[in-house]
C-alpha cells in the first residue's frame, strides 16, 4: 500500500481523466493521496474532490498559501483559513503548501516569512502539521519554526537540503518528501541521504503534474503512478524489500499527517 503525500490532482490538467487515473492508482497499490493547496481561489476546487473516491483511493488535503504565488496572497485569506479550519473540515489533515522559496523572481523574503509564520501559528492552533515548500531557504525555515516553537511537525516536500538541514528538520519532527528527483542518477546527494538517514525520516510523494521522473520529457505530465518507480529505486538503494519499505513509508506518512490507521 502506497501513500502519495504530495500531488496536485485538483489541477485542471487532470480534469479529463482523473477518475481513470485514480482507478489505475488503486490497481498500482496507491491507496492514499494528499493534495496540498496553492492559492486561496483554488481551495474550493481542492476541497470538492477530497474523501474516498469510487476507486477506493482516499484523497486527503491541506489548505494554505504557496510561496510561489506570493503576489496573489492577501492577509484576509489567513483569517479565512483559520475560520475554515475551526469547522474541522473532514479530510483536511495539514496546512500547506507554505514555506520559503528564494528561487522565485523578486522573492520578498520578509513577506514570505510573514505568511509562513502566520500559517504555522494557525496550524499550531488547530493541532495540524505543515506541508512545507522550501527552495534555497532551509536554514531560514528551520530558524523561523524554532522561534515560533512549532511542534506539530509535518513534511518538507521535494526534499533538497543538506545532511545538516535534514537533521534539523528531523529534530523538529518533520519527514522529508522523496519523489521523482530520486529517479535521476545524477541526484547523488539525495541518493546517499536516502540510504544513510533513518528510514523513519522519509515519505513518498510525486508533486504530480510537476517534477517529471527520469524518462519523462520536461513539460510532460507527471502522475501519482511515478510513486511505484520511486519506491523501487529507494528499495534498491537501501537494500530493503519493497513491501516492507512501502509499509514503513505508509506509516511514516500517516504519522506525519496524523492519520490514524
Binding region for Zn ion (CB under 5 A): 207
Would you say 206 or 252 has its CB closer to Zn ion? 206
Distance from C-alpha of 153 to C-alpha of 258, rounded to nearest angstrom: 10
The minimum distance between CB 131 and Zn ion, in angstroms, equals: 8
The minimum distance between CB 97 and Zn ion, in angstroms, equals: 5
The minimum distance between CB 244 and Zn ion, in angstroms, equals: 28
Would you say 119 or 245 has its CB closer to Zn ion? 119
DSSP calls for 32-92: EEEE----GGGHHHHHTT-EE-TTS-EEEEEE---GGGGGG--HHHHHHHHHHHHT--TTE
Would you say 128 or 245 has its CB closer to Zn ion? 128
Distance from C-alpha of 77 to C-alpha of 65, rounded to nearest angstrom: 8
Residue least distant from Zn ion (Cβ): 207
The minimum distance between CB 232 and Zn ion, in angstroms, equals: 22
Closest of 121, 126, 127 to residue 145, by C-alpha:
121
Would you say 158 or 245 has its CB closer to Zn ion? 158
The minimum distance between CB 36 and Zn ion, in angstroms, equals: 6
Q: Do the Cβ atoms of 100 and 134 come closer than 8 Å?
A: yes
Would you say 14 or 245 has its CB closer to Zn ion? 14
Distance from C-alpha of 75 to C-alpha of 60, rounded to nearest angstrom: 25
β-strands 58-63, 30-35 pairing: parallel
Closest of 145, 166, 175, 144 to residue 259, by C-alpha:
175
The minimum distance between CB 136 and Zn ion, in angstroms, equals: 16
Give every CB contact of residue 179 below 8 A, 6+ residues apart in sequence.
6, 158, 204, 205, 206, 207, 211, 213, 226, 230
Would you say 68 or 240 has its CB closer to Zn ion? 68
Amino acid at each position: 500500500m502506497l501513500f502519495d503525500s504530495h500531488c496536485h490532482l485538483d489541477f485542471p490538467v487532470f480534469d479529463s481523466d482523473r477518475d481513470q487515473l485514480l482507478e489505475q492508482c488503486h490497481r498500482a497499490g496507491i491507496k492514499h493521496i494528499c493534495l496540498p493547496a496553492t492559492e486561496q481561489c483554488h481551495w474550493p476546487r481542492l476541497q470538492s474532490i477530497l474523501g474516498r473516491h469510487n476507486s477506493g483511493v482516499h484523497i486527503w488535503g491541506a489548505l494554505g498559501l504557496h510561496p510561489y504565488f506570493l503576489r496573489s496572497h492577501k492577509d484576509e485569506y489567513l483569517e479565512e483559513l483559520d475560520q475554515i479550519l475551526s469547522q474541522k473540515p473532514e479530510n483536511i489533515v495539514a496546512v500547506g503548501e507554505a514555506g520559503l522559496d528564494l528561487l522565485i523572481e523578486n522573492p520578498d523574503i520578509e513577506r514570505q516569512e510573514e505568511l509562513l509564520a502566520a500559517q504555522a501559528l494557525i496550524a499550531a492552533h488547530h493541532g495540524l502539521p505543515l506541508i512545507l515548500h522550501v527552495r534555497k531557504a532551509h536554514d531560514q525555515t528551520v530558524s523561523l519554526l524554532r522561534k515560533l516553537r512549532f511542534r506539530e511537525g509535518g513534511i518538507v516536500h521535494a526534499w533538497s537540503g543538506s545532511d545538516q538541514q535534514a537533521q534539523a528538520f528531523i529534530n523538529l519532527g518533520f519527514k522529508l518528501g522523496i519523489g521523482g528527483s530520486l529517479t535521476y542518477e545524477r541526484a547523488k546527494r539525495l541518493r546517499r541521504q536516502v540510504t544513510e538517514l533513518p528510514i523513519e525520516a522519509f515519505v513518498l510523494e510525486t508533486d504530480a503534474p510537476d517534477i517529471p521522473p527520469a524518462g519523462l520529457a520536461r513539460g510532460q505530465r507527471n502522475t501519482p503512478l511515478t510513486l511505484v518507480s520511486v519506491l523501487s529505486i529507494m528499495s534498491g538503494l537501501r537494500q530493503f524489500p519493497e513491501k516492507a519499505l512501502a509499509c514503513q513509508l505508509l506509516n511514516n506518512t500517516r504519522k506525519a499527517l496524523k492519520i490514524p490507521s
